[in-house]
């Protein structure tokens, strides 16, 4: 079973790894689509370049292959990868039903699932890129 996960993956943290491990456990192959900087409109744009974020995600053990998203149409890489399942992160802003409808409209036959959350395992563990950035600014700026 081919699985797709997607996200920004700006500054990698344990929450990202949890998401990708959970997604990989749902199939035999895990393809990860990295959002292009210009397409990130629901939060602050990533600090790191697109290719750097893709290369870092590609280096993670659960990942079979990492792909950059399409600049204009987020479904282009999904059509190319042809997944059996798309796994969304537990806190991603996507509407599951809207994703299912868009997939059906394009004739893409795959399931949509959500990964579960990961709680911090020890005091001070950071599971958010925004929190990492805030902490760096507090400590170093």
How do residues 5-34 score in pLDDT, each as one tens digit? Answer: 999 999 999 999 999 999 999 999 999 999
In angstroms, what is the C-alpha Rg of the chain? 15
pLDDT computed for residue 79 by the predictor: 96
CATH architecture classification, 2-140: 3-Layer(aba) Sandwich (3.40)
Domain limits of the chain?
A: 2-140
3-class DSSP assignment, residue 81: helix
Does the pTM exceed 0.85? yes
pLDDT-derived band at 91 (thresholds 50, 70, 90) equals: confident
3-class DSSP assignment, residue 24: helix
3-class DSSP assignment, residue 32: strand
pLDDT-derived band at 41 (thresholds 50, 70, 90) equals: confident
Residues of each annotated binding site for ATP: 8-9, 13-16, 91
44 pLDDT exceeds 90?
no
Task: Tell me what the mean pLDDT of segment 58-77 comes to.
Answer: 96
pLDDT-derived band at 42 (thresholds 50, 70, 90) equals: confident
In sequence order, what E strands does the chain have? 2-7, 29-34, 65-68, 85-88, 111-114
Residues of each annotated binding site: 8-9, 13-16, 91
48 pLDDT exceeds 90?
yes
pLDDT-derived band at 93 (thresholds 50, 70, 90) equals: confident
């Amino acid at each position: 079973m081919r699985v797709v996960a997607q996200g920004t993956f700006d500054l990698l943290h344990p929450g990202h790894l949890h998401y990708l491990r959970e997604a990989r456990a749902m199939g035999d192959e895990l393809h990860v689509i990295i959002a292009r900087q210009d397409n990130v409109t629901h939060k602050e744009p990533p600090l790191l370049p697109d290719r750097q974020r893709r290369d870092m995600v590609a280096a993670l053990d659960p990942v079979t292959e990492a792909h950059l998203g399409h600049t204009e149409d987020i479904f282009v890489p999904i059509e190319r990868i042809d997944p059996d399942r798309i796994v969304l992160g537990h806190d991603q802003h996507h509407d599951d039903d809207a994703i299912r409808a868009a997939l059906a409209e394009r004739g893409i036959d795959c399931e949509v699932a959500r990964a579960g959350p990961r709680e911090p395992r020890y005091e001070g563990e950071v599971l958010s890129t925004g929190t990492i950035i805030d902490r760096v600014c507090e400590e170093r700026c």
